[in-house]
Structure 1
Amino acid sequence: MILLKNPRTRRRRLGVAAAAAGLVAALFTAQPAIATPDPGDAPAAQKEVSEKTQAEVREAVADGEIPGQDEIVHSANIQHLTNIPKDLLPGTNSDLAFQGKYAYAGNYDGFRIFDISNPKAPKTVAQVLCPGSQNDISVSGNLLFLSTDSSRSDSSCNSTTQPATEKSSWEGMKVFDISDKTNPKYVAAVETACGSHTHTLVPERRNVYIYVSSYSPNATYPDCRPPHDGISVIKVPRSAPEKAAVVGFPVLFPGEGPDGGGNPGSPTNPGVSRTTGCHDITVLPSKDLAAGACMGDGILFSIADPEHPKVIDQVQDNVNFAFWHSATFNQKANKVVFTDELGGGGAATCNAEIGPNRGADGIYDIVGKGDSRKLVFRSYYKIPRHQAATENCVAHNGSIIPVKGKDLMVQAWYQGGVSVWDFTDSARPKEIAYFERGPLTTDAIRTGGSWSAYYYNGYIYSNDMAKGFDVLKINDRRTDPARWVRLSELNVQTQPDYFGWPSGR
């Protein structure tokens, strides 16, 4: 581990398809390395588009149908307070977590810690070089957790890439001590089957449980062979994080098929991902509930016993959902918003050709009680602005905005920007605010845009894959009550009970 320190609203009709002074190095290697694959959403290479498409994009910019290259546009009720460009970590920015006056920003090359006590002028506290996609990030107390979903030569932060077919390769979870925010210390690493694409915390007083989501096994990978029909559960003792270890692999999709009872995908269901694990899980500890976005399936399950989660309901959408990516509960826990990451995050899917129901959110009501609860589909939501054929755009990570009696959400859409929307009426969702930049390029698809957009203590924070860390403020009577809700810690995939704080076990 290397610590790097240094102090208009528009209607669209577009329808076309490191070295630095003062480096402090501290290298820790945990347990023996074991090979697992790198199936994840690796940053896509720049994709050229046809000359015809390039001309259409340039014409759309000239006509004002889409913003100009890198031009910032937003609704009247959103302010763009600041942008902090990437610095010593040049990789793709990924997820965010929050604690007190700090924001923690993942990056494929490591992570960055910001002091956000003044949201208009965040200050960098630390930058830690520790490559390993995606570096999905979360925090709890004095511990920080980082997912590694690329096959590495070992578990250290100075490892190199290595084929997943090599038995000596490693990927999984890394644990840091952040009691000193200016000098995080790498204290443990835990190898998990098929790595850790994302992870979710289920915190308790003495322990932190981690649900590790990973997928895409292969018979040629020594320690990630099919079936891979569940999740890894890690137990981390707070008083001795170096003893972190896998305590189970609960099967979520039991069945007779080669991958258990999950969605078989294509060719049975053309265009739908075969379920070989989960992409992301969101837990609501105050309700002992979890929702899993698992490639070809959405699931609802009980976490009353965190080491042995139990599936309550399983749903599929073989017409419009290609890849179940993430899940968000509303405050009352009677709805779940699932996202479909059509095209894997690297394609232009926010256009008339793809339409409003694909690459969108699916809103499900939770009906019934106890183990008889069911997920019932109500509607889709997708941003109402078409994007250029050179802009990767699809539903991605977001969080609820805590307003009693309302279901409001802020969400990232890659180069589609940030959308604030209302799903209080499950059947009639509507956008109430937005922020976005124009395309990174007009002659190719270059991956960029907001990876995560989350509401935390009165502000919206967005981690733009290419442009850096953005801070937004929404000024709207519908969201204003949320300003009075204050959290001491937020990992969005561990949803708090906003109006019964503190939540959890």
Structure 2
Amino acid sequence: MTLLNDPRTRRRRLGAAAACTGLLAALLTAVPAAATPDPGDGPAAEREISRSAQAGAAAAIADGEIPGQDEIVHSDNIEHLTNIPKDALSGINSDLAFQGKYAFAGNYDGFRIFDISNPKSPKTVSQVLCPGSQNDISVSGDLLFLSTDSSRSDSSCNSTTQPATEKSSWEGMKVFDISDKQNPKYVAAVETACGSHTHSLVPERKNVYIYVSSYSPSASYPDCQPPHDGISVIKVPRKAPETAAVVNFPVLFPGEGPDGGGNPGSPTNPGVSKTTGCHDITVLPEKDLAAGACMGDGILFSIKDPENPKVIDQVQDNVNFAFWHSATFNQKANKVVFTDELGGGGAATCNAAIGPNRGADGIYDIVGKGDKRKLVFRSYYKIPRHQADTENCVAHNGSLIPVKGKDIMVQAWYQGGVSVWDFTDSSAPKEIAWFERGPVSTTTLSVGGAWSAYYYNGYIYSNDITKGFDVLKLSDRRTDPAQRIHLRELNVQTQPDYFD
């Protein structure tokens, strides 16, 4: 393993190559600011890049400015313990959830359960084939929840792709009984408008509420009609999950006309996604709060009544944010980190041509009290290492590292790798650790890298789109106190109160 400890040495050639070729400007024009790559059941697409960009990547590798193809590099305070390659499920790896000694890994072809009782040597417990991008995953007690956001012929795990224009097509939530981890059982399916790109749990003793995020309606889709300016709320009784059903569709962006009241997007706001739903929601049940990343808008809302969430504040960034992707609260619930998925997760946006503010995190303070709280922008954070023009790279899924009195999180950046950063001072965030691989390819723009990177019970777990399941050990005096915090369960989009 090579250690590249000075990211400043990695800026020169890559910045010049991007500026000269104009590749990124053309690419971002061609690729809409949609959500993460969704090739359905097929392989991730590759795109040719210019010869000068290929030469720039090759020269940067030769000069040591970036790691070689698939080469693993990291800061001195991170150790790469192991990688578990894909096995029976060959699709894109997606999100992660945790319970006890188990990690649950989503994949566009289904999900995989790992025994992580020995983090240095995870063991596969079971793999479930159930295609349906993007198979966003979470767990609560004996139940596992899986999102389906590709139009299917039916709700079964044997379904095939089918056009969304057909009324019989199905998309939505699937529910599994995981009381036997070696033999999960499919127990319920709930169809939701526009499918389920992601979902977030609001767990109670008797019921689990699911906030389903989906978007991109069309008048030609019978079950996904515009303006689609809200979320689906599903109620799942724990003792009778087979009776799970949609109980509400709260409108989060009320407004006149067919487009609702969210961001109108282009051409009014060039380069910004039109808001037609939410991409992801993070809930903080102990504080009765939720933060929504909703395409062209960021929102803060109250979930005191989980069936009827109420928007408290709504913000936009029409200069630097293209697609509001996800959200993370700090422990005190007086800050929110929003991510921008510029280029849809399939573009090379971590270079000088794009700069430090686009495709970055936006850090917002929460000021005020009760329903009068407001989101106030403070700064941006982006990884300080430029990537090659063959590497898809942008802010993606991460979690808090529970250190009392500090705001520190770990975050995935696709082929930008894994970044650990401190935003205790919300106006001056800084990176304190990192891990990444070299480019998947040096000749084509190929989709790969870390989809999710989460801290759980002393270790960082990352689901790499193409390479598999990674386990990292972070050793740093600033984060070591987090090793004392152990959870029974973690769904990152349902943030716990670590110090209650």
TM-score of the superposition, structure 2-length normalised?
Answer: 0.94
Match of 1:371? Answer: 371
Match of 1:42? Answer: 38
Match of 2:355? Answer: 355
Tell me the distance in 2 between the aligned counterparts of 1:367 and 1:382. 24
Map Cα deviations across residues 52-104 of structure 1 (whole Å, 9 max, x no partner): 11111100100001000000000000000000000000000000000000000
Match of 2:26? Answer: none
**Contact 2:421/2:431, CA 8 A, preserved across alignment:** yes
Match of 2:440? Answer: 440
Match of 1:73? Answer: 73
Tell me the distance in 1 between the aligned counterparts of 2:392 and 2:259. 30
TM-score of the superposition, structure 1-length normalised?
Answer: 0.93
Map Cα deviations across residues 414-465 of structure 1 (whole Å, 9 max, x no partner): 0000000000000000000000000000000110000000000000000000
Shift of 1:51: 1.1
Shift of 1:160: 0.3
Match of 2:31? Answer: none
Map Cα deviations across residues 385-422 of structure 1 (whole Å, 9 max, x no partner): 00000000000000000000000000000000000000
Match of 2:169? Answer: 169
Tell me the distance in 1 between the aligned counterparts of 2:136 and 2:6. 34
Shift of 1:257: 3.7
1:413 correspondence with 2:409: no
Task: Please list, as runs of the form range in 1=range in 2, the aligned pairs for 1:270-309 lying within 5 A after superposition.
Answer: 270-309=270-309
Match of 1:489? Answer: 489
SS in 1 for 2:151: coil
Match of 1:118? Answer: 118
Tell me the distance in 1 between the aligned counterparts of 2:357 and 2:157. 41
Match of 1:388? Answer: 388
Tell me the distance in 2 between the aligned counterparts of 1:57 and 1:309. 48
Match of 1:248? Answer: 248
Tell me the distance in 1 between the aligned counterparts of 2:231 and 2:143. 21
Give the direction of change, closer, same or farther, for the CA distance of 1:205–1:91 in structure 2 (3 Å limit).
same
Tell me the distance in 2 between the aligned counterparts of 1:285 and 1:207. 14
Q: Which runs of 4+ in 1 moved over 6 A?
A: none
Percent identity for Structure 1 against Structure 2: 85
- The one-letter amino acid of 1:210's match is I
Map Cα deviations across residues 163-221 of structure 1 (whole Å, 9 max, x no partner): 00011100100000000000000000000000000000000000000000000000000
Tell me the distance in 1 between the aligned counterparts of 2:55 and 2:332. 48
Tell me the distance in 2 between the aligned counterparts of 1:73 and 1:406. 27
Map Cα deviations across residues 268-305 of structure 1 (whole Å, 9 max, x no partner): 00000000000000000000000000000000000000
Task: Please list, as runs of the form range in 1=range in 2, the aligned pairs for 1:27-176 lying within 5 A after superposition.
Answer: 41-43=37-39, 44-176=44-176
Aligned pair count?
A: 473
SS in 2 for 1:233: strand
Tell me the distance in 2 between the aligned counterparts of 1:471 and 1:47. 30
Tell me the distance in 2 between the aligned counterparts of 1:111 and 1:445. 26
Map Cα deviations across residues 235-266 of structure 1 (whole Å, 9 max, x no partner): 00000000000000000000114221100000
Match of 2:24? Answer: none
SS in 2 for 1:275: coil
SS in 1 for 2:233: strand
| Gapped regions of structure 1 (runs ≥ 5) | 1-7, 18-37, 501-505
**Contact 1:459/1:474, CA 8 A, preserved across alignment:** yes
Shift of 1:40: 6.3
**Contact 2:324/2:338, CA 8 A, preserved across alignment:** yes
Map Cα deviations across residues 217-237 of structure 1 (whole Å, 9 max, x no partner): 000001111010000000000
SS in 1 for 2:483: helix
Tell me the distance in 2 between the aligned counterparts of 1:491 and 1:96. 8
Map Cα deviations across residues 301-347 of structure 1 (whole Å, 9 max, x no partner): 00000000000000000000000000000000000000000000000
Match of 2:223? Answer: 223
Match of 2:317? Answer: 317
SS in 2 for 1:286: helix
Query: RMSD over aligned Cα, in angstroms?
Result: 0.9
SS in 2 for 1:473: strand
Shift of 1:41: 3.3
- The one-letter amino acid of 1:84's match is I
**Contact 2:341/2:359, CA 8 A, preserved across alignment:** yes
Map Cα deviations across residues 8-42 of structure 1 (whole Å, 9 max, x no partner): 2242122133xxxxxxxxxxxxxxxxxxxx98631
Larger relative helix fraction: 2
Tell me the distance in 2 between the aligned counterparts of 1:294 and 1:379. 19
Tell me the distance in 2 between the aligned counterparts of 1:39 and 1:81. 31
Tell me the distance in 2 between the aligned counterparts of 1:63 and 1:494. 43
